[in-house]
Structure 1
């Protein structure tokens, strides 16, 4: 099938023979040069795992094994009678040729941006694991298919594909409609036209019913189908980000429906406006089971894709200096770190693709990339090289926070293991919040790497403190307020001089979280100057305001009182933080949700210098506190057993920390001209 290796600008295209839905698939494959500007469509789909049974098609008369997902996608493509050829990565790249595979992956943005349309196949509604998969695919021949256009007009992307209602809907006379898909997409189409005085509680007035004369709206059908749409593997694969961003707006195919991305996006934008305003009480209190969570998940997933599309478009805008050959290092490497952190929960068949799939999003010059794909290198080598590149070009050590959250014994402690897909949901918010601190005083990092010891990195910094006591594990399993109550008792025992205000700020890591967990505002600053007198507790014996921690004999019988005083402080602090906000006001997460974010998988710590703070749950007594140039937060380090080959003692990164009184460079100012030292991380 692959007679020779592809040359520069060359791609292979798949020509699918026209036939009925149920007929075996037969194709031809040809090599063309993108320099000739060929007309073709590009497929975005999910390969599936090796545990899913394979099926076969013929390419040039040769029998070729493919996954079930691709088999179904090709049937959809053939059903529409498309005349233009199709680019499919699994078939158009020789996956066994490492050099060709590496070259084509580095070239992927050009392929998708050159395509006349992107065909995004989310699924047919058939479980690929079912034993009767083939029979269920064949049964779809009797189904009628439907196109949902945008604003009643044929979208440009649908037109580019040559897709019409006539070709797509052609079916036997006894065709049956897909009622579930119709309910979902009528809901989305209706949402596009949702007026300001309409509400999500009135879906039955503008959504489709299963039967025209049905007395009740099919809420269960809508929620179940929307859940299936949200849970399609397409949303959870790392490759589909690039495929849906660098080219034309994709046309979405789900079950028996085709719809342009613009319809999904407009529906999501309208839904979001209502979710964040008038419909909030309804969704929280009165909505049918699962309705609110399904709508919110759709909004989150679609907005994540659209945000990346917008960033990519802005980066390639001719008015942008980066597009004219500006900074290809510092800002782009920071963007790569952001992309990798946001999308690491997405899965990839090849773990190296956690890096390689995102590189085209940052490609400004066709001849220049931050990192070149090389499938001949091991996963570990790719991750280490990527971490080095990000640190060197960004002159920042923000990556250390992610390394602490995504650790691996197979990698240096300063290098995140991007293959980790699980974790806890609050991690992303905790790491974003670190950007609001100023521990490193806007310095740039000074580092040294070593070719003979790739796991070693020498960094300029200071070891300032160590953990003296920890309060965390004994409070695990308790609810939020019992956790805070236990932490307050821990502080009373180990740092009794702590002020009530300092304890409150530490529990919240001194940040106020804005809507959608995308912006973070410091709760300090003016609080230290003019509101201390408002954030006190009332001594029940003297009825006087006090700013120290309530004595233990009071707190032991007054969990409710502590909760009340904390809420009063939080309200005042939040008002102060909101003064720095610009733009429109949207509802912020409730206080309990913000507290869960700051305290999730954290321990309360007391340090040898009598300061308090929050540290990772993996922290141990004796772990060191270090401040590095080019790092906006303190880091916890653990001494490693010394090796004769290393000139100095090495440390492993445990993670980031919030240490009250160190987050704005105060320790450096107190230490004066103390010289920085080189610290070895391994």
Structure 2
């Protein structure tokens, strides 16, 4: 018998690390013109024997006559594949003897025979963790022994034991259904993965086996409870007090442990579960939880004061010695609520896809084995025209890949918004104008369009588009050309200022390097007298915007009386009954430590701390202080306070995770408006060209005011060539 070694699609861009040295098995080529894929069926288990599987080719175009008629009747081209399938499911209720439905969309985990869409039946797709590649499992496929990871073997053994995926209901699994030794086929199947997962009857998100050692089945029960709460019941503090026993700290512990599962740190799962949308099912052994219920439950944690409740509950568990974690590891919660929920909604309802900035944030939220997977694992999230261009870069080196992606977004949208994500600090040699998808400095909560957690916001509200927050270029269209084999970007704009002073740079997530401050003794405010300067200062510190990108108002001058330390703030918050702010002890450090590092920073002849007081006015409103607290907390991340030569202040890009002085913004760097980009950019001369250092905020210049400098002949419009 000939045996083969397989690798999951998430490994396909690296040199394979073989489980053992075996020759490749025989895979007959797929017919791309016929939209062919391979699908797996499982044979009944044999005692003491490997799992036996059958692998066969099937065409995604071989629809039944009834399904073809259905697609024509609903104008399939105007709907997402997932939406069309959901409508089909609802129009084909299962036979009375079919197992009951599992999904909140009215569908079933498995289709009844009258709902099969293809002449050969129907199929599901598996989303799972690679597992330890040093632990090999053995299965038999079409009579040939195949080595797979132990984790995949255990999944197949469970499915076979349950008599699943036999005959006409099949399953697609990347490690087996793709010929991993055929680079051309791998590239083709990467392009097709969006179609495969969005066309599957269901996507199975496998979270491991069940048993006494796993908390996941209990977490499923808790999640169903959270999702069932109506709007009046979603205050978990009140529910805990009134219905003790219904909620307790053990529930939160189970959920926390579930969200720590390595599945959520795998970048490829994003495309897989999103394409499944409401037809995705979380599975632990034989325990199931549908995707809509899961997302609705997680959203409850973002409601009102519930974010604090979850922290309090886990702390109680930690005190009892049940958990090693005293605080939540929240990356997976944010991934589900901020990204996967929104993306899967698109597949279900249609709408705008994620923009460039959000894709970069998603890429930073999870891990992959190969750097290029940061891009290719998210191909399905991109507009098809962009994805098609990016896939052509499949075999290019990393720097060319990053360049191709940025160019594709610039070309498709005909604007230069991607330059806001640019800097010269990447590690892979891409041009400064092409975002490095591995740069660690991007922080999700630093964005002015990002909806925060808290009592004033609906966690289900959509966020505004990033390009609608500011309008520094006054809507001027971009002039774009790519030179020197796309290594250079030529565009138009003008330089209007220069950095003259810099506050402390952030040092990691929790500290600021006070010694990095660069004072500007000659700086004089362009905003007017001290009162006008103070007004400009509070606007600058919150980026001129509050939640949902709404403009700051006069009442947000309350920032100037936001206490500099939590020790000074908490008694004042508590006395007023401002519970949410009084519970910010674990989050107040951003404002507190930024102030400590900048109190002595001089705005001309006056220290920054002299503009503030630690005493909250008696007539203050909690909602206003929540606004400014969240606003300034956001702006101090990924940004460095700056003074400009022309008497302005604002924010320059920061590089918090690099200890060198080289990869930092500098005094003397220029500030420019580039037409087609909604924010100013910090740029730097580099021989006969320029580098992009990153996006900037300049108070008073974020809504088109800088263009009057051209009209007044104070600045000259010019072409920039960025390298």
Give, in angstroms, the shift of residue 309 of structure 1.
Answer: 1.2
Residues of 1 paired with 2:673 and 2:604: CA distance?
38
- Is residue 510 of structure 2 the alignment partner of residue 510 of structure 1? no
Q: Corresponding residue for 1:652?
A: 691
1:253 to 265, 271, 283: 283
Q: Corresponding residue for 1:116?
A: 201
- Partner-residue secondary structure (3-state), 1:510: coil
Q: List aligned pairs for 1:525-674, cutoff 5 A.
A: 527=554, 562-564=612-614, 591-617=628-654, 618-640=664-686, 642=687, 649-672=688-711
Q: Corresponding residue for 2:550?
A: 521
2:56 to 10, 23, 30: 30
Give, in angstroms, the shift of residue 523 of structure 1.
Answer: 1.6
Residues of 1 paired with 2:124 and 2:629: CA distance?
48
Q: Corresponding residue for 1:128?
A: none
Residues of 2 paired with 1:295 and 1:124: CA distance?
22
1:41 to 116, 124, 133: 124
Residues of 2 paired with 1:465 and 1:337: CA distance?
26
- Is residue 205 of structure 2 the alignment partner of residue 192 of structure 1? no
- Is residue 394 of structure 2 the alignment partner of residue 348 of structure 1? no
- Is residue 304 of structure 2 the alignment partner of residue 277 of structure 1? yes
1:359 to 365, 379, 382: 379
Q: Would the alpha carbon gap of residues 351 and 636 (structure 1) be closer, same or farther in structure 2, given more than 3 Å must change?
A: same
Does structure 2 conserve the Cα–Cα contact (< 8 Å) formed by 1:16 and 1:78? yes
Does structure 1 conserve the Cα–Cα contact (< 8 Å) formed by 2:501 and 2:519? no
Q: Write the deviation string for residues 504-545 of structure 1: whole angstroms up to 9, x where unpaired.
A: 222222221x2xxxx222226xx4xx99999899xxxxxxxx
Does structure 2 conserve the Cα–Cα contact (< 8 Å) formed by 1:223 and 1:294? no
Give, in angstroms, the shift of residue 502 of structure 1.
Answer: 1.5
With 375-384 and 411-420 compared, the bigger mean Cα shift is at 375-384
Does structure 1 conserve the Cα–Cα contact (< 8 Å) formed by 2:448 and 2:543? no
- Partner-residue secondary structure (3-state), 2:355: helix
Q: Would the alpha carbon gap of residues 408 and 120 (structure 1) be closer, same or farther in structure 2, given more than 3 Å must change?
A: same
Q: Would the alpha carbon gap of residues 48 and 652 (structure 1) be closer, same or farther in structure 2, given more than 3 Å must change?
A: farther
With 198-207 and 344-353 compared, the bigger mean Cα shift is at 198-207
Does structure 2 conserve the Cα–Cα contact (< 8 Å) formed by 1:13 and 1:32? yes
Q: Corresponding residue for 1:156?
A: none
Q: Corresponding residue for 1:133?
A: none
Q: Would the alpha carbon gap of residues 251 and 536 (structure 1) be closer, same or farther in structure 2, given more than 3 Å must change?
A: closer
Q: Corresponding residue for 1:325?
A: none
Q: Aligned Cα RMSD in Å?
A: 4.3
Q: Write the deviation string for residues 346-396 of structure 1: whole angstroms up to 9, x where unpaired.
A: 22333333333333344569x994543553222322221111111112122
1:315 to 344, 347, 350: 350
Q: List aligned pairs for 1:462-477, cutoff 5 A.
A: 462-473=494-505
Does structure 2 conserve the Cα–Cα contact (< 8 Å) formed by 1:347 and 1:421? no
Please list every run of 5 or more consecutive structure 2 residues that lacks an aligned counterpart in the other structure.
Answer: 1-24, 63-117, 319-325, 451-464, 563-599, 655-663
Q: Corresponding residue for 1:58?
A: 140
- Is residue 387 of structure 2 the alignment partner of residue 387 of structure 1? no
Q: Corresponding residue for 1:165?
A: none
Residues of 2 paired with 1:6 and 1:309: CA distance?
29
- Partner-residue secondary structure (3-state), 1:504: helix
Give, in angstroms, the shift of residue 624 of structure 1.
Answer: 1.0
Residues of 1 paired with 2:399 and 2:494: CA distance?
29
Residues of 1 paired with 2:519 and 2:26: CA distance?
68
Q: Would the alpha carbon gap of residues 308 and 197 (structure 1) be closer, same or farther in structure 2, given more than 3 Å must change?
A: closer
Q: Would the alpha carbon gap of residues 285 and 352 (structure 1) be closer, same or farther in structure 2, given more than 3 Å must change?
A: closer
- Partner-residue secondary structure (3-state), 2:694: strand
- Partner-residue secondary structure (3-state), 2:402: helix
- Is residue 196 of structure 2 the alignment partner of residue 76 of structure 1? no
Residues of 2 paired with 1:60 and 1:475: CA distance?
56
Give, in angstroms, the shift of residue 414 of structure 1.
Answer: 0.7
Q: Corresponding residue for 2:396?
A: 377
Does structure 2 conserve the Cα–Cα contact (< 8 Å) formed by 1:186 and 1:207? no
Q: Tell me the matched-pair count.
A: 558
Residues of 2 paired with 1:265 and 1:534: CA distance?
34
Q: Write the deviation string for residues 17-73 of structure 1: whole angstroms up to 9, x where unpaired.
A: 2216975222221112122224121111122465x4333322223232222332232
Q: Corresponding residue for 1:264?
A: 294
- Partner-residue secondary structure (3-state), 1:85: strand
- Is residue 31 of structure 2 the alignment partner of residue 7 of structure 1? yes
Q: Would the alpha carbon gap of residues 562 and 454 (structure 1) be closer, same or farther in structure 2, given more than 3 Å must change?
A: same
- Partner-residue secondary structure (3-state), 2:490: strand
Q: Write the deviation string for residues 469-503 of structure 1: whole angstroms up to 9, x where unpaired.
A: 223259999989x98xx99x968873366611112
With 105-114 and 471-480 compared, the bigger mean Cα shift is at 471-480
Q: Corresponding residue for 1:679?
A: 720
Does structure 1 conserve the Cα–Cα contact (< 8 Å) formed by 2:274 and 2:344? yes
- Is residue 358 of structure 2 the alignment partner of residue 338 of structure 1? yes
2:469 to 430, 436, 442: 436
Give, in angstroms, the shift of residue 613 of structure 1.
Answer: 1.8
Q: List aligned pairs for 1:475-514, cutoff 5 A.
A: 494-495=523-524, 499-512=533-546, 514=547
Does structure 2 conserve the Cα–Cα contact (< 8 Å) formed by 1:471 and 1:605? yes
Q: Corresponding residue for 1:580?
A: none
Residues of 2 paired with 1:301 and 1:474: CA distance?
24
Please list every run of 5 or more consecutive structure 1 residues that lacks an aligned counterpart in the other structure.
Answer: 126-142, 144-176, 210-216, 317-330, 538-548, 576-587, 643-648
Residues of 2 paired with 1:427 and 1:678: CA distance?
31
Q: Would the alpha carbon gap of residues 205 and 70 (structure 1) be closer, same or farther in structure 2, given more than 3 Å must change?
A: farther
Q: Would the alpha carbon gap of residues 255 and 13 (structure 1) be closer, same or farther in structure 2, given more than 3 Å must change?
A: closer
Q: Corresponding residue for 2:102?
A: none
With 435-444 and 471-480 compared, the bigger mean Cα shift is at 471-480
Does structure 1 conserve the Cα–Cα contact (< 8 Å) formed by 2:501 and 2:520? no
